[in-house]
Amino acid sequence: MTLPAPVFSRIAVGVDLSDSCLVAVGQSMSLARRCAAPVVLMMVEVEPASVDDLPTSLQGSETRLRAARRERLAVDRRELEALRQRLVGQGVEVSHLVATGDADHGVAATAADHGADLLVVGSHGRHGLSRMLLGSVAEKTVRFASSSVLVARGTSSAAEGGYERIVVGSDFSRRCEEALERAVAVAAPDAHIEVVHAWQVPYDLTAEGTIGAALAELRDELEEDVGRTGASLVEAWRQRGVRVTFRSVDGPARPALCERAVAAGADLVVVGSHGRRGLRRLVLGSVAEATVRHAPCSVLVVR
């Protein structure tokens, strides 16, 4: 099939040396080889809050705490360098850095400062004196990042050779067309890519009574319209040599993608960061965050 050109030119990976972050590193390396992109391993240390006018009785404890933190940071730096060394010679240019910041914005801000167009994080992190908290922070990273974000789940080798089973959320907006382009670009040559469009008649139009017949007619028209649009999308990609299937889901968008990911045994879900509001549209701002939280596999949020 005819694949889009490589879509990522610089990949940043949030590293806290947990098992989850190693999954993120592994998938990043696979994507970097595919895109011929360099990888930067980023460790963002959370600065402890300073306390003014600390009582004399506690100053000794604070001094010891800061010394322990410096020691921990030195160990982290050595482990980060060791991780980089293990990745050398795998066909990817790999660098590393340690920055300071807060848990909410630090990862996204550091990636932006270094010009990354893909930021990869694990879905869960390791708690501790100098660790990023990549559980809840993964969702906030998606919200604050200026680049696309991959929240990596599954195995470190899941992206090797391309993802095999991909579910793409679409509201037929331009941003979702870009999401599908990215999905095809990171897919294995024989991958199964399923585009999912979730739609429903708004609840405020579902009153019983005199509008029942009109409402049923509206629902039928919407279903037909979605089906036609989906068929056109599939045909356009078929002409490009890419096997894409389409599924229309009558129901809320937020659970639809995760349920389809489970049913399809997906190793990647791809969504746009924002969609279009309206009678037939997914709201892919909140949907993206909900998918990051609940999907059983890696999630790529495209910007």
Q: What does the pLDDT read at residue 128? A: 38
**Predicted pLDDT at 216:** 75
- Taking the alpha carbons at both ends of the chain, their separation in whole angstroms is 25
Q: In what order do the strands lie in the sheet with 163-169?
A: 94-101, 39-46, 11-14, 118-122, 148-152, 298-302, 268-272, 163-169, 187-199, 244-250
Q: From CA 167, how far away is CA 298, in angstroms rounded? A: 11
**Rounded CA gap, 110 and 196, in Å?**
33
Structure tokens at 230: 């989906």
Q: What is the Cα–Cα distance from 284 to 169, expressed in whole angstroms?
A: 8
Q: What is the pLDDT of residue 192?
A: 95
Contact 165, 265 (CB under 8 A): yes
The predicted structure's pLDDT at residue 267: 96
Helix (H, G, I), strand (E, B) or coil at 14: strand
Task: Pull the structure tokens for residue 63.
Answer: 């001094």
Structure tokens at 36: 């011929």
Which residues partner with 142 through β-bridges? none
Q: What is the pLDDT of residue 132?
A: 40
CA distances (Å), origin 83, targets 77, 94, 113, 114, 155: 10, 10, 22, 20, 17
| Measured distance CA(7)–CA(270) in Å, rounded | 14
Q: Indicate the angle between helix axes 253-264 and 284-294, nearest 10 degrees.
A: 40
Q: Tokens for 265?
A: 């045994």
User: Which parts of the chain have pLDDT scores under 50?
Assistant: 1-3, 126-135, 275-284
Sketch out the chain's domains with CATH numbers.
11-51+64-152 (3.40.50.620), 163-302 (3.40.50.620)
**H-type helices in the chain, by residue range?**
19-35, 56-87, 106-113, 136-144, 174-185, 212-239, 253-264, 284-294
Cα-Cα-Cα-Cα torsion 226, 229, 232, 237, nearest 10 degrees, comes to -90
95: which strand partners?
A: 40
